[in-house]
Chains A and B, each alone.
Chain A
Amino acid sequence: MNRPVPITGLGCISAAGPGLEAGLASMFRGCRDPRPPQRFCTGHPVPYPVFELPEFLGPPSLLRTGALLLHAAREALADAGLDRDFLDTLRAGACIGTTVGSAMNDEGFCRALRAGGPPSLEPMERILRSNPAALLARQWGLDGPCQTVVNACSSGTDAVGLGASWIEAGLCDLVLAGGADELSRITCNGFISMRIAGPGPCRPFDRERDGLNLGEGAAVLVLEAPELRRRRRARARAFVLGYGSACDAYHPTAPSPDGAGLGRAISEAMAAGGIAPGQVAFVNAHGTATPDNDRVESGVLAAMLPGVPFLSTKGYTGHTLGAAGAIEAAFTVACLERGRVPACAGFQEADPGLPAPVAENSAVRGAVALSQSLAFGGNNAVLALGLGERP
């Protein structure tokens, strides 16, 4: 970024907690409780655990993804001290990542269609009504650009980076950027069919890691133009210093073994922020706990940022797909503010030849951290986030 983009509000809901502070406190206490899905059943011989929010309920007119997003956005706007009346005076945009939130895969509708129908159109209406970026724009009357990013598991990171680039380009005064995704039976079956879902609680970067746990949640970051922030004297909790993204061009669902795309994205994000490796306090890694992802990712970090502490927060939240990058960006900011990171939950023993993540709650030094995502499709996206002002 030519100029750091201020982050003035954060909202986050995940299995770690219904808000950012609650989630962070839960992580530092080491709480995690993956269980078999409660809202739906699957017919697999192994009850693959997930990180679910069984108590969370949204209106039936919206996808659960949309309801999670609105929950996170309310927290972020309150944190930023913004209301709809003030938003009405701004050029405000929405840039939101998702996977499930844009998929036309309602199982009941498809079953009825296959049976000869005609099925009720309500499930399709619900999907169209819940397009995440359009939903935010409608809810808060945002009149700027509106973009739903569907870059699979890097969607949330990309959405925050793209939102920051809108501010940088002067397209908006303010952007609600983030990601949202719900647990879905179809998606659970898909990941299990690809043999990358684990049969027990996930163990990111552990030598015995055997797959991911899916999760659900949402996070929203309020990104503001520096001029607007100054005008309304808002505190910048953090800054987006840089954003990088690059494609592996290697395989539709596996990361490139050499991690070249990830390396390029890290380099781009650091160069954009003018960041030297020694300035990086920690890396909030993608860390899904799949053998391939963690091998590639920790290998790249060892080569590019040797000695820099890294962790995955997916041991507390599960892999929330399109929401993951946004949730992890929010946690990254909160950890920078505290100067501490939680233990990489699930990790016990390092993979031989690869670096170990943070094994216990630890203090970190520095004002810059990276949050990164790898995705199906070979997408790699990295945010460089800088510490903001003290309250």
Chain B
Amino acid sequence: MTIAIQGIGVVGGFGCGTADLARAMALGAAPAAALRADPGPLERFVPRRSLRRLDRFARMAALAAHLALEDAGALGDDHDRLGLVVASGWGATGTTLALVDSIIEGGDVCTSPSHFAGSLHNAPASHLAILLGARGPSLSISQFGLSAPSALMAARLWLEQGRAQRVLVGAVDELSGLTGHLWDRQGELERPWGPGPRGEGAAFFLLSSRAEAREPYCLLEQAITGRGPGPEGLAPAGTSPLYGAMPAAPAFDLAAAAIRLRQGQGPERVSCLTRDQDQFGLVQIRSFRR
């Protein structure tokens, strides 16, 4: 089955939506030391009262997901057979800190149940399913820097195996007190963080079969992960100065590459390689016009 990227939704330090990302790409690196995302525009899609259970982390994911659906012209569609794959390297670290704070401040009996529920890695996928009425399979993945390629691999497989009609797949990471502290001390960590300013945000993609896609960005030819440096002759992708360094960055790399393909810039086929310690992730896309 040929898989197409039908819609893209992004929110990050550069702004909100593919037009903002394309503008940042045209301008070059953003100058800020830390690239914060603003999930406020989510209220354009979801009434504020429906957002009370969503923390900032889940709101970034929900915003990017809604933007991807809007981009594909699929916001009002029936999502009964929509699959969801949400990846994150860190998870909801802001809410995790708040959960531990509730224990430290009030003792064990004051543990916050809402913070506990929000601290779970699959909370964003859960909220998304409820907001969209998505009743297909749902998967949350945490594989640090390879979270996004791993999520795309799963999404491709679901479509190929007929487990979902369409899949909304994306990655999200948050700049919290915890991750900010780790960033400040990254020189002491075993795992390098990557170039660029510290960042946060979410990048989502609506995938479907080529036959179903209306005006796709491009075709998703391959998404794999494995051990080793990856295929010879490829260098890691990375335009992180635009959105900042974070484990979810490979999803933004893919979004940027897909936007360039649609704009007719560069080669017809693009490989986005990610390396994380002794493992690699590879996502290959190509222009659908060929």
Contact B122 A150 (CB under 8 A): yes
Contact A150 B140 (CB under 8 A): yes
- If A105-B100, A150-B141 touch, does A193 touch B116 (CB 8 Å cutoff)? yes
Contact A145 B107 (CB under 8 A): no
Does A131 make an interface contact (CB < 8 A)? yes
Tell me the smallest distance from the CB of A214 to a CB of chain B, in Å. 13
How far, in whole Å, are A152 and B116 apart by their CA atoms in the complex? 12
Tell me the smallest distance from the CB of A65 to a CB of chain B, in Å. 13
Q: Would you give the 0/1 interface string for B86-122, flagging 1 where the beta carbon is closer than 8 Å to chain A?
A: 0000110100110111011001110111001101111
Chain B contacts for A133, CB-based, 8 A = 143
Closest to B105 in A: A114
Does A39 make an interface contact (CB < 8 A)? no
Tell me the smallest distance from the CB of A344 to a CB of chain B, in Å. 27
Contact A141 B130 (CB under 8 A): no
Does A144 make an interface contact (CB < 8 A)? yes
Contact A146 B150 (CB under 8 A): yes
- If A113-B177, A142-B227, A378-B138 touch, does A121 touch B129 (CB 8 Å cutoff)? no
Contact B91 A190 (CB under 8 A): no
B138-164 interface (Cβ within 8 A of A): 138-144, 146, 150, 153-154, 157, 160-161, 163
Contact B150 A245 (CB under 8 A): no
How far, in whole Å, are A157 and B255 apart by their CA atoms in the complex? 31
Q: Would you give the 0/1 interface string for A103-130, flagging 1 where the beta carbon is closer than 8 Å to chain B?
A: 1110100110110011001001100110
Chain B contacts for A114, CB-based, 8 A = 100-101, 104
Does A379 make an interface contact (CB < 8 A)? yes
- If A128-B144, A137-B227, A147-B143 touch, does A264 touch B135 (CB 8 Å cutoff)? yes
Does B123 make an interface contact (CB < 8 A)? yes
Does B185 make an interface contact (CB < 8 A)? yes
Contact A162 B117 (CB under 8 A): no
Does B226 make an interface contact (CB < 8 A)? yes
Contact B122 A125 (CB under 8 A): no
Tell me the smallest distance from the CB of A172 to a CB of chain B, in Å. 10
Contact A107 B100 (CB under 8 A): yes
Q: Would you give the 0/1 interface string for A173-195, flagging 1 where the beta carbon is closer than 8 Å to chain B?
A: 00000000000001001111111
B262-290 interface (Cβ within 8 A of A): 277-279
How far, in whole Å, are A118 and B121 apart by their CA atoms in the complex? 26
Closest to B184 in A: A118
Instruction: Identify the stretch in A13-21, A248-256, A281-289 within 8 Å (CB) of chain B at 4 or more residues.
Output: A248-256
Contact A379 B127 (CB under 8 A): no
Does A362 make an interface contact (CB < 8 A)? no
- If A43-B108, A104-B178, A261-B135 touch, does A147 touch B141 (CB 8 Å cutoff)? yes
Does B126 make an interface contact (CB < 8 A)? yes
Does A350 make an interface contact (CB < 8 A)? no
Contact A169 B126 (CB under 8 A): no
Contact B225 A105 (CB under 8 A): no
How far, in whole Å, are A193 and B109 apart by their CA atoms in the complex? 7
Chain A contacts for B112, CB-based, 8 A = 193
Contact B225 A145 (CB under 8 A): yes
Does B181 make an interface contact (CB < 8 A)? yes
Contact A151 B113 (CB under 8 A): no
Does A367 make an interface contact (CB < 8 A)? no
Closest to A381 in B: B137
Contact B129 A247 (CB under 8 A): yes
Contact B122 A375 (CB under 8 A): yes
Tell me the smallest distance from the CB of A140 to a CB of chain B, in Å. 11
Does B64 make an interface contact (CB < 8 A)? no
Tell me the smallest distance from the CB of A129 to a CB of chain B, in Å. 7
Contact B138 A151 (CB under 8 A): yes
How far, in whole Å, are A168 and B126 apart by their CA atoms in the complex? 28
Chain B contacts for A113, CB-based, 8 A = 97, 177-178, 181
Closest to A188 in B: B108
Contact A249 B134 (CB under 8 A): yes
Return the contact of A131 from the options B107, B140, B144 (Cβ within 8 A).
Answer: B144
Return the contact of A110 from the options B53, B109, B134, B178 (Cβ within 8 A).
Answer: B178
- If A134-B279, A190-B99 touch, does A252 touch B127 (CB 8 Å cutoff)? yes
- If A121-B185, A145-B150, A147-B225 touch, does A111 touch B104 (CB 8 Å cutoff)? yes
Query: Which residues in B have some Cβ–Cβ distance to A below 8 Å?
Result: 53, 84, 90-91, 93, 96-97, 99-101, 103-104, 107-109, 111-113, 116-117, 119-123, 125-127, 129-130, 132-144, 146, 150, 153-154, 157, 160-161, 163, 177-178, 181-182, 185, 188-191, 224-228, 277-279
Additional A-B contact list (18), CB under 8 Å, known A103-B119, A107-B103, A193-B111:
A43-B107, A104-B93, A110-B96, A113-B178, A129-B190, A151-B140, A152-B121, A152-B122, A190-B99, A190-B113, A192-B108, A245-B137, A247-B129, A253-B117, A260-B135, A376-B120, A377-B122, A379-B138
